[in-house]
Structure 1
Amino acid sequence: MPAWPEHVIWWHVYPLGFAGAPIRDGVDPDAAPVHRLDRLEPWLDHVIELGLNGLLLGPVFAAETHGYDTVDHFRIDPRLGDDGDFDRLVAAARERGIRILLDGVFNHVGRGHAAFTSLTPDGPNLLRGRWVDGGFEADVFEGHDALVALDHSSPAVVDLVVDVMCHWLDRGIDGWRLDAAYAVPSSFWAEVLPRVRERFPEAWFLGEVIHGEAARIVEESTMDSLTQYELWQGIWHGIADGNLFELSHAIERHDELLATFAPQTFVGNHDVTRIASAIGAELVPHALAVLFTVAGTPSVYAGDEFGWTGVKEERLGGDDAVRPEFPASPDEAGGDARILEAHRALIALRRRKPWLWRAHTDVVEVANAAIALRTAIGDDAVVVALNIGEEPVSLPVADGHGVVAGQGTPVGGRVELGPRGWVVLEA
């Protein structure tokens, strides 16, 4: 695995929504380009100002709706622009030292992809399915008829994915988020990724995995990291339900993964209800305190730093609220200044202590509404004390004494927190 991911914190963007592109109505993947991708460039200085240095982009390839129904992996979606727009974005990111990760949808394609439109009984078949009465019945992804499953046992599919990955790595990106990696056999990634690494040994591969035995998946697939949905669940669910024992359990499970890999951690992404809606704006700093002090490669979902809200719903268009259009510049973003400042302070802490990337966290004390955590290497330590309840609490803070963020003065190895109080200390 390359060394640079240890020092990257990602700003995760869903480009089609960010740029205000149409998602469902009037989408023509062969239309003339509309140059929207350049709307990201004025936000790159905001990324740096937050203390971040990675741009994790959602789908940017030609597609028919939301971007996860790819029709051409080698062409920028005309709703976003063209190759020139992409090259300018890469150059602007490079000037600022920002890494770029692209979203690779390699489990399935849209029905407009040539693998489907040019399919004949006698020709090469990249898809999973069967010929019945002269027609092809394609297997689809999780019941979505528009998403036709690729045949991962086919050497041609291996070649296609290797070619796509290498094409865009050659164009200047740093790695790939592998969409729906949990639905793809680990043996497929184990064929693809070593071939890509032969040409691009510094590339990093993050698999979207929402269930399964994470350590085994990493070992068998050779992926570098996986999305840490179990920790995300423990953070927001533990806070929302007033049951921090769930958070404690998730952190202990999280620590067990570190012997194999450093997970990709988050409290928000393009597929889930925004954290401010899930737990309430007042408790967002509590979630951030955990995110930025436990091990892993963290990401901030664009807009969460302002405390934006949005609820994901299980219906057509149910993602729209969490994938909104962004204003022209950060100055127009509005939001909650307290949440923005918590991001800045905690990301700065993470920058000062890069060892947090692979450090274990001890649960010092836990109750339903309060928890104390200590993450340390040698004599260097970070202590988090959280109170999500309506009554004051006293929590042990071990050797934590210098206040990094939040409010609370340690006395005699303990800190008093008011209702819904929080503090992060360093040794």
Structure 2
Amino acid sequence: VDPMLGSNEDFEDLCAAARARGIRVMLDGVFNHQGFVSRYFNGDGFYPELGAHQSKASPYYPWYHFNRWPDQYDAWWGIYSLPAVNESQEDYVDYIIEGEDSIVRRWLRAGADGWRLDVADELPDAFIEKLHRAAREVKPEAVIIGEVWEDGSNKIAYGVRRRHLLGGHLDGLMNYPFRNALLAWLLGGDAGQFRESMETIRENYPPAAFYSAMNSLGTHDTPRILTLLGVGGDCGGESKQWRAEHRLSPEERALGVRRLKLAALVQYAFPGSPTTYYGDEAGMEGFEDPFNRRTYPWGEEDAELIAWYRALGKARRELAPLRRGALCYTAAEGDVLAFTRTWEEDTVLCACNAGRECARVTLPWSAAEIGGLLCFPTDPDTGEAVVELPPLTGYLLRKSPGRE
């Protein structure tokens, strides 16, 4: 659905069907720039009404800043096909936010539950504040998530310290720092650095923002996670043609799958909202855009990964600690990362070994207190349980409820 193209009579039914299955719909709002061929700019003259590119008399002309009309104008990052919008122009603010039938209000009333704001750093604070207020007026529980690639608590963008997490602006952020730290560890880094990076985010973010951060391993703006983990990087030194044609070898794919299973285990066990880019769970490959946008492999999904993601989703749904629990690290050094999530009397531990050698993790419980979820520890009860972690292996273990 492209909300800016007008009404969609099927959208309410889509949202109702999703909600019946426990799914909420969040729309992606790209309010900083538009397309050259959008009905507002109408660069190719496709639409019958006048766009800003056809005439200065167009009602949309004030939305853009022309250095020399019609072919020289501000564009997002200088890309001519993406003309930038003046987010402070009154008519534009009314159309997107303030009007009774504005884009933000209309689609929330139609059933959407929130908005993800593209390039939030490039939207004025006043614009985001108005958008947040309008969304809450229509739907008090609406969620506004911003695309921010760094620590959003102290971000300075275009010379302005942003107010992303100071209330009344964004409810949460895309957690690219989580992705960066996790990939660095999986590709040979130190688990201690992952903990350090995430503890910095936890210290800087309000608790609600930390526990609702959008934790993704891949997006349309990044190479496919399986490809990254299989080849060990983005291969930026290779030609674009090479990256377009490359497919993982059987050895690279096997390594990528094992690393991806570890990455997804941490993602689903860690505080925040695990977010999966379509097809990552099915084993899709590809480097950067557009190679990461191939069609879903219907009928050819990776059965091993599908089963793993289903098990993780089931665990996340059924175990309250994985959704709400407090975070405590048990081990974070070298190849080994282990942490617990505790909610009330229930505790779940995630223990992972990203290395090529076996590792051991000492647990804060006896073996008799542990109920296996995805895997069982193998050592007998010797007081404190010691779990053997084979190479590139992760366990999700639960302390049996009610046992002291």
TM-score tier by shorter-chain length is 0.7 to 0.9
Alignment of 1:251-262 (within 5 A): 251-256=198-203, 257-261=205-209, 262=212
Compute the displacement of 1:298 (Å).
1.7
Pick the aligned partner of 2:302 from 322, 332, 335: 335
| Structure 1 residues 135 and 390: alpha-carbon distance in aligned structure 2, compared to 1, 3 A threshold | closer
Aligned to 1:108: 33
Residue pair 1:101, 1:173 contacting (<8 A) in 2 also: yes
- Per the alignment, do residues 221 and 302 of structure 1 end up closer, same or farther by CA in structure 2, a change over 3 Å counting? same
CA contact (8 A) 2:224 2:285 kept: yes
Find the aligned partners of 1:336 and 1:251 in 2 and give their Cα distance.
32
Aligned-residue RMSD, C-alpha = 2.6
The residue type equivalent to 1:251 in the other structure is M
Query: Which residue in 2 is equivalent to 1:156?
Result: 91
Which of 368, 372, 377 is the matching residue for 1:408?
377
Which residue of structure 1 lines up, in the alignment, with residue 394 of structure 2? 422
> What are the within-5 Å matches in structure 2 for residues 301-380 of structure 1?
301-312=277-288, 319-326=289-296, 332-337=299-304, 339-380=305-346
Partner of 1:93: 18
Following the alignment from structure 2 to structure 1, what is the Cα–Cα distance between the partners of residues 106 and 184? Answer: 40
Structure 1 unpaired stretches of 5+: 1-59, 62-71, 77-82, 313-318
SS in structure 2 of the partner of residue 382 of structure 1: strand
1:248 matched residue in structure 2: 195
- 2:242 corresponds to which residue? none
User: Match of 1:222?
Assistant: 169
Q: How far has the Cα of 1:365 moved from its partner?
A: 1.8
- Residues 127-160 of structure 1: CA distance to partner in whole angstroms, max 9, x if unpaired? 352444x557322112322111111222222212
Question: Residue 342 and residue 135 in structure 1: after superposition, are their counterparts in 2 closer, same or farther (change >3 A)?
Answer: closer
Q: Which amino acid is 2:107 matched to? A: W
Change (3 A) 1:145 1:136: closer
TM-superposed deviation, 1:358: 4.5
Percent sequence identity over aligned pairs: 28
Contact kept, 8 Å, 1:242 with 1:388, in 2: the verdict is no
- Once residues 303 and 406 of structure 1 are traced to their aligned partners in structure 2, the CA distance between those partners, rounded to angstroms, is 25
* Equivalent residues in 2 for 1:22-421, closer than 5 Å: 60-61=1-2, 73-75=4-6, 83-117=8-42, 118-119=51-52, 125-132=61-68, 135=70, 137-162=72-97, 163-214=102-153, 216-219=163-166, 222-256=169-203, 257-261=205-209, 262-279=212-229, 280-312=256-288, 319-326=289-296, 332-337=299-304, 339-399=305-365, 401-406=370-375, 408-409=377-378, 411=381, 412-421=384-393
Q: TM-score, normalised by structure 1?
A: 0.72
Please state whether the residue corresponding to 2:316 is helix, strand or coil: helix
C-alpha displacement of 1:340? 2.3
CA distance in 1 between partners of 2:338 and 2:36 (Å): 51
Q: 1:290 to 1:123 in 2, by over 3 A?
A: same
* Matched pairs, number: 341
Higher strand share goes to which structure?
A: 1
- Could you tell me which amino acid in structure 2 is paired with residue 365 of structure 1? A
User: What is the distance in 2 between the residues matched to 1:357 and 1:403?
Assistant: 18
CA distance in 2, matches of 1:424, 1:213: 30
Aligned AA (2:374): A
SS at match of 2:192: helix
Matched AA of 1:116: F
Q: How far 1:394 moved relative to its partner?
A: 0.9
Query: CA 1:157 to 1:381, structure 2 compared with 1: closer, same or farther past 3 Å?
Result: same
- Matches of 1:212 and 1:138 in 2, distance apart? 31
Q: TM-score, normalised by structure 2?
A: 0.76
CA contact (8 A) 2:132 2:170 kept: yes
Conserved in 2, the CA contact under 8 Å of 1:408 and 1:422? no
Q: Distance in 2 between matches of 1:225 and 1:126?
A: 32
Q: How far does the alpha carbon of each residue in 1:263-294 deviate from its partner, in whole angstroms, 9 at most, with x for none?
A: 11122222222222222111112111211111
The more displaced of 93-102 and 284-293 is 93-102
CA distance in 2, matches of 1:273, 1:408: 35
Offset, 1:308 = 2.4
**Which shows bigger deviation, 202-211 or 83-92?**
83-92
Higher RCO, 1 vs 2 (CA within 8 Å, ≥6 residues apart): 1
CA contact 2:353–2:394 (8 Å) conserved in 1: yes
**1:254 offset after TM fit, Å?**
3.6
Asked if structure 2 preserves the Cα contact closer than 8 Å seen for 1:175 and 1:205, the reply is: yes
Structure label with greater radius of gyration: 2
Task: Report the residue type matching 1:159 in the other structure.
Answer: D
Q: Which runs of 5+ in 2 are unaligned?
A: 43-50, 155-162, 230-255, 400-404
Structure 1 residues 355, 105: CA separation in 2 closer, same or farther (over 3 Å shift)? same
User: Secondary structure, in 3 states, of the residue corresponding to 2:186?
Assistant: helix
Q: Is the 1:251–1:361 Cα contact (8 Å) retained in structure 2?
A: no
CA 1:277–1:407 in 2, change beyond 3 Å: closer, same or farther?
farther
Aligned-pair distance for 1:169? 1.8
Aligned mates of 2:142, 2:180 — CA distance in 1: 28
